């Protein structure tokens, strides 16, 4: 099948590296950006795709998803995390592989239609594996390690997937020790060893709740009763007065390849440790709000040059799988944060950390992963397009992954 060039005429382009260009023509071929022509006469432009009053920017990277939970809509406001987690565990265990696969397909479709060009997926039942391998979407498939006994069986299953799934330009593999409380110390150390030997990304829920921090430091609180129901207590470390992040470091799971999912409640020394190890924080804003957490220390991380990128979590705790919607929420809650900073974190920073240095930017020779956001009205200055992109009424109207148009409205 002959590969055709794709030409996109754009009124405004944000390249992910701090530059805004106007009246450009992008030519895409072979999965990459072949050329960017500036100051074209758009009245005479005959490109296949014309984008008026829209901002073109690198595709969004969703740094944390559970696509297999896409069949569960977030129905309850002000959810109690401990009871929610237990109920979700029961629902996941009761679901069939077919139901989970359909959920993953739904999540993939929604991701593409919201400008996502890449995501990191925690797969527990492996039901999202085949859909992602067939999807026109870059993915990092993180095999979730959960369990307290029969760890040899779980280890072999993870190793079999790592051997059986071929890494390519569209799909990569990672290891996801779910959390300190959903896996035995033996299984957690196995994850660290596998990640080190194979240079894998590590994705782990950590310091998500105050109760989690209390349990690991002192062995007390409501979290203990939840873990007793899970049958976890005999397999977890004894209280040591250490924060979950310090314990993660003791297990060799805090590295420059680690995604610290949520990280809502770091303690004083945790900031310096995260920075020293070079780990990245993944903030899921609307899921954070759903569980009524204390304000996320987003600004504190950024002030200390600790990278923060964004995830949606699952539809069981957030209204959509749109990173744009997550950024709009953050902008509304924290209006002092510049739109350029937020958009850069969700595109360039996230892509560079998760996929590699050449991703997350629109320039000649770069992978052609981009999206377009229809602006609610025409921008009046060079700076306003980015702010308008986070306006409540803006919407994604184009997604391109690897030079292919995968969504157009």
Which of 335, 354, 373 delimits the end of a domain? 354
Count of the separate structural domains present in the chain: 2
Q: Tokens at residue 282, please?
A: 């993944």
Report yes or no on 1 lying in a domain.
no
Whether 152 and 219 map to the same domain: the answer is yes
Nearest to 68 by CA among 34, 92, 93, 43: 92
Q: What is the CATH number of the domain that holds 97?
A: 3.20.20.140
Whether 248 and 118 map to the same domain: the answer is yes
Whether 129 and 202 map to the same domain: the answer is yes
DSSP 123-176: ESSSTTHHHHHHSSSEEEEEEEE-BSS-HHHHHHHHHHHHHHSPP-SSEEEEEE
Report yes or no on 137 lying in a domain.
yes
Q: How many CB atoms lie within 10 A of CB 260?
A: 28
Report yes or no on 339 lying in a domain.
yes
How far is CA 398 from each of CA 8, 270, 401, 406, rounded to the nearest angstrom? 11, 40, 10, 8
Report yes or no on 88 lying in a domain.
yes
Q: Tokens at residue 332, please?
A: 């509304």
Site of tokens 């629902």: 91
Q: What is the CATH number of the domain that holds 51?
A: 2.30.40.10
Whether 308 and 393 map to the same domain: the answer is no
Report yes or no on 119 lying in a domain.
yes
Whether 196 and 335 map to the same domain: the answer is yes
- Beta-carbon contacts of 380 under 8 Å, excluding residues fewer than 6 positions away, are none
Report yes or no on 30 lying in a domain.
yes
Report pLDDT for 92.
82
Whether 206 and 290 map to the same domain: the answer is yes
Order the strands of the 116-123 sheet from edge to edge: 60-65, 116-123, 138-145, 171-177, 201-206, 258-262, 280-283, 308-310
How far is CA 360 from each of CA 61, 347, 352, rounded to the nearest angstrom? 8, 5, 6
pLDDT (tens place) for every residue of the chain, 409 residues total? 456 899 999 999 999 999 999 999 999 999 999 999 987 877 777 788 999 899 999 999 999 999 999 887 665 555 688 888 888 888 888 889 999 999 999 999 999 999 999 999 999 889 999 999 999 999 999 999 999 987 788 899 999 989 988 889 999 999 999 999 999 999 999 999 999 999 999 999 999 999 999 999 999 999 999 999 889 999 998 999 999 999 999 999 999 999 999 999 999 999 999 999 999 999 999 999 999 999 999 999 999 999 999 999 999 999 999 999 999 999 999 999 999 999 999 999 999 999 999 999 999 999 999 999 999 987 766 658 999 999 999 999 999 999 999 999 9
CB 392 within 8 A of CB 403: no
Residue 143's Cβ-side half-sphere holds a number of Cα atoms within 13 Å equal to 25
Whether 206 and 342 map to the same domain: the answer is yes
Report yes or no on 261 lying in a domain.
yes
Which of 310, 329, 354 delimits the end of a domain? 354
Whether 69 and 213 map to the same domain: the answer is yes
Q: What distance in Å separates the CA atoms of residue 268 and residue 194, rounded to the nearest whole number?
A: 30
Q: Tokens at residue 2, please?
A: 């002959």
Whether 336 and 292 map to the same domain: the answer is yes
Report yes or no on 367 lying in a domain.
yes
- Beta-carbon contacts of 344 under 8 Å, excluding residues fewer than 6 positions away, are 16, 18
Whether 367 and 260 map to the same domain: the answer is no
CB 113 within 8 A of CB 406: no
Q: What distance in Å separates the CA atoms of residue 310 and residue 324, rounded to the nearest whole number?
A: 10
- Beta-carbon contacts of 9 under 8 Å, excluding residues fewer than 6 positions away, are 24, 25, 40, 42, 45, 47, 49, 50, 51
Domain of 27 in residue numbering reads as: 6-58+362-408
CB 212 within 8 A of CB 223: yes
Whether 309 and 387 map to the same domain: the answer is no
Report pLDDT for 273.
98
Whether 276 and 386 map to the same domain: the answer is no
């Amino acid at each position: 099948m002959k590969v055709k060039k794709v030409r996109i005429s754009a009124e405004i382009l944000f390249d992910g590296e701090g530059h805004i260009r106007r009246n450009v023509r992008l030519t895409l071929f072979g999965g990459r950006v072949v050329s960017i022509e500036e100051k074209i006469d758009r009245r005479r432009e005959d490109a296949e795709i014309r984008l008026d009053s829209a901002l073109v920017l690198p595709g969004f990277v969703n740094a944390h998803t559970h696509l297999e939970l896409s069949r569960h809509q977030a129905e309850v406001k002000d959810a109690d995390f401990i009871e929610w987690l237990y109920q979700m565990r029961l629902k996941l265990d009761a679901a069939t592989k077919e139901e989970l696969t359909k959920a993953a397909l739904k999540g993939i479709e929604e991701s593409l239609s919201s400008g996502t060009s890449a995501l990191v997926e925690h797969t527990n039942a492996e039901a999202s594996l085949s859909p992602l391998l067939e999807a026109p979407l870059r993915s990092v498939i993180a095999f979730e390690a959960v369990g307290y006994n029969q760890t040899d069986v779980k280890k072999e299953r993870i190793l079999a997937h790592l051997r059986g799934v071929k890494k390519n330009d569209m799909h990569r593999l990672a290891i996801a020790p779910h959390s300190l409380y959903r896996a035995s110390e033996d299984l957690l150390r196995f994850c660290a060893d596998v990640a080190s030997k194979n240079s894998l990304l590590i994705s782990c829920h950590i310091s998500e709740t105050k109760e989690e921090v209390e349990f690991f430091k002192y062995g007390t609180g409501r979290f203990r009763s939840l873990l007793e129901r899970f049958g976890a207590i005999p397999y977890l470390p004894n209280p040591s007065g250490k924060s979950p992040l310090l314990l993660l470091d003791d297990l060799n799971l805090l590295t420059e390849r680690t995604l610290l999912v949520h990280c809502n409640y770091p303690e004083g020394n945790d900031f310096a440790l995260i920075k020293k190890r070079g780990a990245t924080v993944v903030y899921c804003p609307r899921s954070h709000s759903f569980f009524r957490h204390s304000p996320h220390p987003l600004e504190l991380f950024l002030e200390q040059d600790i990278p923060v990128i964004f995830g949606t979590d699952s539809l069981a705790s957030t209204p959509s799988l749109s990173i744009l919607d997550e950024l709009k929420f953050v902008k509304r809650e924290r209006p002092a944060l510049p739109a350029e900073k937020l958009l850069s974190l969700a595109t360039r920073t996230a892509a560079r950390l998760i996929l590699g240095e050449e991703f997350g930017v629109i320039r000649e020779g770069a992978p052609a992963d981009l999206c377009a956001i229809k602006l609610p009205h025409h921008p009046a200055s060079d700076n306003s397009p980015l702010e308008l992109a986070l306006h409540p009424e803006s919407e994604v109207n184009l997604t391109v992954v690897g030079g292919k148009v995968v969504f157009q409205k």
